[in-house]
Chain A
Amino acid sequence: MSTRKTLVVAGHGMVGHRFVQAAIERGLTERYDVIVYGEEPREAYDRVALTSYYEVGADALSFLPGGQYEDPRAKVVLNTQVTAIDRDAKTVALSDGTTQAYDVLVLATGAAPFVPPVPGKDLQNVFVYRTIEDLQAIEEAAKTAKAGVVIGGGLLGLEAANALHQLEVETHVVELAPRLMAVQVDDAGGATLKRHIERLGLTVHTGVMTEYIEGYTDAELVDEDAEGNTDGKVSGLKFKDNDEVLPVDIVIFSAGIRPRDQLARDCGLEVAERGGILVSPNMQTSDESIYAIGECAAPGGRMYGLVAPGYSMAEVAADHLLGGAGEFLGADMSTKLKLMGVDVASFGDAFATTEGSLELVYSDAVAGIYKKLVISEDCTQLLGGILVGDASSYGILRPMVSSGMALPENPEDLILPASRGTAQIGMPDEAQVCSCMNVTKGEICKAIHDEELTDVPAIKQCTKAGTVCGSCTNILKNLLTEEMEKAGKAVSKAICEHFDHSRQELFDLIKIGKLASFDAVVAAHGTGRGCDICKPAIASILASQFNGHVLDKKTVGSLQDTNDAYLANLQKNGTYSVVPRIPGGEITPEKLIVIGEVARDFGLYTKITGGQRIDMFGARVEQLPDIWKRLVEAGFESGHAYGKSLRTVKSCVGSEWCRYGVQESVAMAIELELRYRGLRSPHKLKGGVSGCARECAEARGKDFGVIATEKGWNLYVGGNGGAIPAHAQLLASDVDSATLMKYLDRFLMYYIRTADRLQRTSTWMDSLDGGIVRVKEIVVDDALGLGAELEAEMAQHIDSYFDEWKATLEDPEKLARFVSFINAPGTPDPNISFTEDRGQIRPVNFDEPVSLGSSIPVGAPQ
């Protein structure tokens, strides 16, 4: 009903870009036309990675290749400066002479390098280090220059010096303060850094003041630059209290940055004492309709010269414009970087400013390592620290500061080199549990404790651990159990909010109650309509007990995760992979040719898997039936790469060919793979068979591994590779083939009955009281008297096996799912696109900027 409003953004830098992205993602463009003015000749780029311009070029740094957003309601205008703001008229004046009205104005003008009023600063070949144009100019000048100097030994100065050094110019760094990186490190750390840098061939001058820059007066060396300046070129640098002039042809100023707040000053907005546009916690300036974000803003009077706080400001401003309550509450200014190959990190109270704090220092001048920890007076807490030369413990130490965790008894162990710090620091608390999201054990335990978390999904939501690849989920679960036991609380075994039961309990309840569908199970034992956790788990239980078709609508059809639901593995771009079964890895030339032909005809990427078979990637959902029709006709069947079920039984070549082999390992592997194919289980199952003790099939890295002996077979169980590798343990030795299979039937069925969801055989065995000894009692000695029953269940599975893909192809109702669009089955989804690498297709990577669903226009925008 209301008319569209106009939102003007001044500055298309890192933060301005992030803001526009947020505006699009969150639907702000539903209400506003967004216009961004950028003064630079190019769209926003990664300024943090500016130095890599010399390696990768400008295009690789761009955040918005093409220069426009996908959402047509956000427009970028480059090469145009906002020159003035008229707050009464609500317009901005532009460098092209026009004006633009706004309802909301967002200032994201960033900062400018500070150039002190040194005489000679306007000479040619005096540069700053902020934009791609600056770098281009420096590169040009470096072509003829012999020596250069960077004025400023801070973080950015050193980066500029590094660039100059890389451009093969003799490089000097001049710093007024007595040490390098004065803001981040202390004297000793600075000295270590200085030695490192000097070793690389740069010259460092600390504690010196620049008096003036000398220029040539010789007319030959004075030519006109782009702006028509005819000032001479740089010839040297003169320090105070030193008569000798340092001969240089290039000067780069990197003596700090100043927020670009002039626009705001000119129109009477409040600015902070030390510069920067004063903003409220929701990023509004003293004029409600004007926001300021990024380096030009000063929330609480403080300016932040890093990009992460700028990004938070962008999100907060977008949120506030949408009526949200987000606030910017300061930021962690910890830094870790690699400067010219030297690790430097500074975090927390690095300068020991806290009352009574103590410093622990480790320094090895020869190795160029300096480490300092600042700890509280009572030695119980880490407050901050500085690491130079070796910052490998940054990941451990920084979280200790932020989490306020107790220090170990000998805190010096934290900075001693591993060889000397013999005392085992009995606290893997700092260990990174989730490498995807960089979450430590300490952080997780703290969340469990403080937020009183009682299940894994809550931990995921709270800490973000486990939300990317999921491989740390089991560790999360163990931590939860540990923490709750410590607190004397019972750990809920409930698999999710819908069932108060563990998987094992559900297995028994379903069996006893003969419950054959999700509806029946939920009616009898659950609440709600299930979720992505209980549904696949129940589907797996129903499949192990009844072995119906996984696409059967009446029983399990809606329960399957996408892989099972489409009998193929989902890939990152929404396409699927196809893996036909190749039992034991043995395949005839004819069948190989068929795979080649199918892959070629459907344009699929083809790769040999780690499981001794062939994977074809990039199949669109609507192509799957046609692909499988060809494969089934040629005698292939589903390889269940998508299911929590038997994957492969890996084989070595064995006694039929190998001069060492003592049994036919290939034949055994094939027999086992065919016996257990299609068997649904709590997690995937893998097997291996080796023809002798040389173990070429890596059988002991499998859930069940069989190794040939002179007398028969050794059977190992509970091995796996993956995130937490485990060696399989010996269950029985020198058994004949029949006994081997009897034991395996029992073992697998008992695992299927009693394991938890997504628990592999190794972790399941660990969780049994007695571990392998208990498994032996049950499987070999039949201590529970379950043997015959377990074997019968397996026999039933083997008898009722059928190929899921063949059955699907024969059933139009099941095939109905395999379309791109329900109302346009033949139209391929335009969101899927491929590019080529090494002669085969691969998905196009949708890196930033993200094209988000919120730009899908349906109906007229209101």
Chain B
Amino acid sequence: MTSTTTVSGGFIPVCRLDQLEVERGATALVHGQAVAVFRTYDDQVFALGNYDPFSKSSVIARGIVGTRGETPFVASPVYKQAFDLRTGACLDDEGVSIPSYEVKVEDGVVLVGPRLKHPKRG
């Protein structure tokens, strides 16, 4: 569907790590789609689809980042459903999940890669 400007094995550079605020998200444009990129307190970086299936709007990057137990999550800013930053699984509604993407930081640059596959839940 999209023409892919593939850089280093499907990874697209989106910003420098220091551009990302700690415990907040930023929206990046990847292959014409909105992807939410997060940097957590311990400097891990995660990427999820920016589309919130509950509010049907492109807002995930603007949610509050925190933890539930050991799980790092972002709460959608609209109706507050929590999504696991690692898998995109919704923590409040079992059947729902949003895509999550591979991310890596190389030389201080954040790169977003292909969609992650997760072992089945439930």
Contact = CB atoms under 8 A, between A and B. Distances in A.
Interface string B21-48: 1111011111111110100110000000
Interface in A517-560: 528-532, 534-536, 553, 557-560
A822 B14 contact: yes
Contacts of B115: 30, 856-859
Given A570-B78, A846-B56, A850-B56, A858 B67 contact: no
A281 to B, nearest CB: 15
Among B27, B41, B81, max chain A CB count under 10 A is at B27
Given A562-B77, A827-B29, A859 B4 contact: yes
A461 B92 contact: yes
Contact of A529 (B2, B41, B57, B75): B41
A319 B15 CA distance: 37
A858 B113 contact: yes
Among B29, B49, B72, max chain A CB count under 10 A is at B29
Contacts of A853: 49-51, 53, 98-99
A570 B59 contact: yes
Contacts, number: 183
B97 A26 contact: yes
A859 B114 contact: yes
A535 B64 CA distance: 8
Contacts of A528: 66-69
A532 B82 contact: yes
Contacts of A559: 64
B57 A572 contact: yes
A529 B21 contact: no
A207 to B, nearest CB: 47
Among A26, A529, A566, A824, max chain B CB count under 10 A is at A529
Interface string A805-846: 000000000001101111110010111100000000000001
A119 interface: no
B10 to A, nearest CB: 4
A324 B120 contact: yes
B28 A574 contact: no
B2 A854 contact: no
Contact of A561 (B50, B69, B77): B77
Contact of B10 (A27, A570, A856, A860): A860
Among A326, A467, A850, A856, max chain B CB count under 10 A is at A856
B33 A858 contact: yes
A49 to B, nearest CB: 21
A498 B71 CA distance: 13
A573 interface: yes
A831 B55 contact: no
Interface string A734-767: 0000000000000000000000000000000000
A558 B31 contact: no
Contacts of B20: 822
A562 B63 contact: yes
Contacts of B58: 574, 829, 831-832
A531 B113 contact: no
B78 to A, nearest CB: 7
Interface in B50-106: 50-51, 53, 55-59, 62-69, 72-73, 75, 77-82, 92, 95-99, 101
B97 to A, nearest CB: 7
Contacts of B2: 857
A786 interface: no
Contacts of B97: 26-27, 854
A566 B62 contact: yes
Interface in A13-63: 25-27, 30
A228 B72 CA distance: 68
A178 B25 CA distance: 66
Nearest to A827: B29
Contact of A553 (B21, B35, B37, B67): B21
Given A570-B62, A850-B56, A852-B51, A532 B99 contact: no
Nearest to A559: B64
A816 to B, nearest CB: 7
A97 interface: no
SS of A interface (majority) = loop
Contact of B19 (A322, A561, A822, A846): A822
A323 B98 contact: no
Interface in A577-625: 621
A574 to B, nearest CB: 4
Contacts of A461: 92
Given A529-B40, A531-B75, A858-B30, A25 B53 contact: yes
Given A461-B92, A468-B79, A574-B58, A531 B15 contact: no
Nearest to A315: B95
A326 B15 CA distance: 41
A854 B23 CA distance: 24
A565 interface: yes
A816 B51 contact: no
Contacts of B19: 816, 822
A862 interface: yes
Contacts of B53: 25, 850, 852-853
Contacts of A557: 21, 24
B28 A858 contact: no
Interface in A115-166: none
Contacts of A315: 95
Given A497-B69, A831-B34, A854-B98, A574 B1 contact: no
B22 A558 contact: yes
B64 A823 contact: no
Nearest to A527: B67
Nearest to B20: A822
A830 B27 CA distance: 12
Contact of B95 (A26, A532, A850): A26
A72 interface: yes
Given A530-B67, A857-B2, A822 B37 contact: yes
Nearest to B23: A558
B28 A822 contact: yes
Contacts of B28: 821-824
A325 interface: yes
A323 B120 contact: yes
Contacts of B24: 557-558, 565, 817
Contact of A822 (B6, B26, B55, B65): B26
B22 A824 contact: no
A642 to B, nearest CB: 11
Contact of A854 (B63, B77, B81, B99): B99
Nearest to A539: B64
18 contacts: A26-B97, A27-B99, A30-B117, A324-B120, A529-B67, A532-B63, A534-B66, A553-B21, A562-B62, A621-B62, A817-B21, A817-B24, A822-B14, A822-B15, A831-B50, A831-B51, A854-B99, A856-B115
Interface of B: 1-2, 4, 6, 10, 13-15, 19-24, 26-35, 37, 40-41, 49-51, 53, 55-59, 62-69, 72-73, 75, 77-82, 92, 95-99, 101, 112-115, 117, 120-122
Interface of A: 25-27, 30, 72, 315, 319, 322-326, 460-461, 467-468, 497-498, 528-532, 534-536, 553, 557-562, 565-566, 570, 572-574, 621, 816-817, 819-824, 827, 829-832, 846, 850-854, 856-860, 862
Which 4 pairs between the two chains have the least Cβ-Cβ distance? A859-B114, A853-B49, A562-B77, A853-B51
